[in-house]
Amino acid sequence: MLVILMFLQIACKDEPTYDPFDDVFDVSIRKVIKEGCDTLPAGCNYYSLIEKSANSRMYYQVYGEHFSDVVAKGYVYHIDTFRIKNKKDFHSNDILKDSLLQVPFDISLFNKTISKYKYSYLDREKEVLRIVNNEIQDTVILRFNLAETYHPKHVVRNLEYFISNPMAENK
């Protein structure tokens, strides 16, 4: 009977939360890959395994030969895409970049998206947006970012969150 109880306890081990905002890095990369993700190079032998979804994507970052160890994780929320005259002018125009970052967006849609992680919009400052999880009394800061696309006249605006695994720095 004791052996059966021990087996059930091991078999009922909690699954990782797969929450981009918590501090849990012990996730099954095999499961992430099995559920479907894009593998994107992140530079210097780092790879990001990013969810396949429309505008809300969490990701795990791994390092080359230690592909099963998560060194960081994050979240990207695609807000919108802007058409610009050309990217050369965009790179040299800080006023344009600042104005694009300040354009309002649909907070209710964003709230609906992050509610699956039990977070909601708290407030916004110039280049950051804060969200809160009232259950665990946690506040997270997401940063606005403009990113180039492969299209010569398009720039996307995202909200991004990134957290490094403190245990990965010790390896």
124-159 pLDDT, tens digit per residue, is 988 899 999 999 999 999 999 988 888 878 889 999
Q: What is the distance between the alpha carbons of residues 26 and 28, in angstroms, rounded to a whole number?
A: 7
Question: Length of the chain, please?
Answer: 171
How many domains are there within the chain? 1
- Give me the domain span that covers residue 72: 15-170
pTM of the full structure: 0.80
Q: Give the E-state strand segments of 33-153 in sequence order.
A: 37-43, 46-51, 56-63, 66-83, 120-124, 128-133, 138-148
Sign of torsion, CA 118 121 125 126?
Answer: positive
99-115 pLDDT, tens digit per residue, is 888 889 999 999 999 99
Residue 4 lies in a domain: no
